[in-house]
Amino acid sequence: MTLNHTHDPAARSWLESANAEGSDFPIQNLPFGVFRRRGTNEAFRGGVAIGDQVIDLAAVARAGAVSGLAAQAASAAAQPALNELLAMGPAAWSALRHALFDALQAGATGPGVDALRASLVPQSAVEHTVPTRIGDYTDFYTSIHHARNVGRVIRPDNPLTPNFQWIPIAYHGRASSVVISGTPFHRPKGQAMAPGAQAPVYGPCRRLDYELEMGFYVGPGNALGQPIPIGEAEQHIFGMCLLNDWSARDHQFWEMDPLGPFLGKNFCTTVSPWIVTMEALAPYRVPFAHPADEPQPLPYLDSPANSAQGGVDVQLEVVLQSAKHRAQGHGGDRLSATSFSHQYWTIAQMLTQHTNNGCNLQPGDLLGTGTISGPTYEEAGAIVELSLGGTQQIPLPATGETRTFLEDGDTVVLRGWCEKPGAARIGFGESRGEVLPAVGGA
């Protein structure tokens, strides 16, 4: 992805809120989501975030505010899910994004600009839904730091599995339990085997965890039996979001030998409302490489472009807000912060690996990156890492509480953004979810 005029850090919009310092949604971002006005029975439809507003793409399409391929893309995005837009491919995505950028720039005039102004809806007045009809959801496991940290809990003498440095590992999740940010969920019930016990017990999860992840949405799919080579992989990726793959660690560790995660993972996955396009992320691409003394990717997972700019430098943080925080009017305590650039495998490698056996992906499919952890303790992407498997209390300084795992009433907030000198700061918004008590209690 090369830079173009939509990445100009000096660009400003006639919408002043888009020019505010620290805004997640300046004119250089323009992420896509699906929304409707809160409290109404309106149809959900595609929208684009700009400043504190949402561009109603259904209104844009009706008014003819854009033309040509951009108009076709706007009509596709005016539907209750973005699948039709994602199927159109990068040329259409870019045409719509560029048309909106041009009409939003300070000084832009004309009927299209007037129609765009009329399409704006305050973000404070809308509600969101999952932006695509997710046919399939796959979650990867691509942070070597997370793998080592969790591996030490399960296999202290051999924390890293032999395949990790050779292959992007993944499991198939449950698309039906992917929910939009702000959706609460009940603590899951299941079986767990306590250390030294002779039989498992059934009940509410006692080791509930979050996972700091990013997700990416598939654009054009591939035919069954036709792998996507790594040199073409990013032509099939629309953009990225924040993703929290909630995990019942006690249930997960008991059930996943020998076939992998099942009920410990599929009860809830929370995504952020906005998809930041790969084009918007172009200024934040970074080189990718495995350390020279470690196994190098096999040829089908390697390309010059992937080595040159396969990584994405997204800054990430996790905030925990307990019921006590809320009672005190406090936003919560930050538990950790890291960067997506630490991942051991790139999103192109993940998508290529997914299809290399001929598996067919479809527009709107969701792929999770796996937990994102950095090399230091403060960069851990899950509470099981921070608490060293539940053996160490994590302080919440604002309230004086501590945690080893999540408690009922806890809200976990994931945030992400990109910033560096010489580029406009862009953000992802947030992924937020609250833990409710188990159905039926203990």
CA distances from 90 to 69, 72, 104, 364, 396 (A): 11, 13, 21, 14, 44
Instruction: Decide: 249 and 263 in contact? Cβ < 8 Å.
Output: no
Report how far residue 25's alpha carbon sits from residue 27's, in angstroms, rounded to the nearest whole number.
7
Return the active site residues: 146
Residue appearing with tokens 């992802």: 428
End-to-end distance of the chain based on CA atoms, in angstroms? 52
Please work out, in degrees rounded to the nearest 5, the angle formed at the alpha carbon of residue 141 by the alpha carbons of 139 and 144.
160
74-105 b/e (C-beta count within 10 Å ≥ 16 → b): bbbbbbebbbbbbbbbbebbbbbbbbbbbbbb
What are the strands of the beta sheet with 411-418, ordered from one edge? 185-186, 426-436, 411-418, 315-321, 333-339
Q: Which residues contact 334 (CB under 8 A, 6 or more apart)?
A: 317, 318, 319
Q: Is 390 helix (H, G, I), strand (E, B) or coil?
A: coil
Report how far residue 276's alpha carbon sits from residue 278's, in angstroms, rounded to the nearest whole number.
7
Q: Is 297 helix (H, G, I), strand (E, B) or coil?
A: coil
Residue appearing with tokens 């390697």: 302
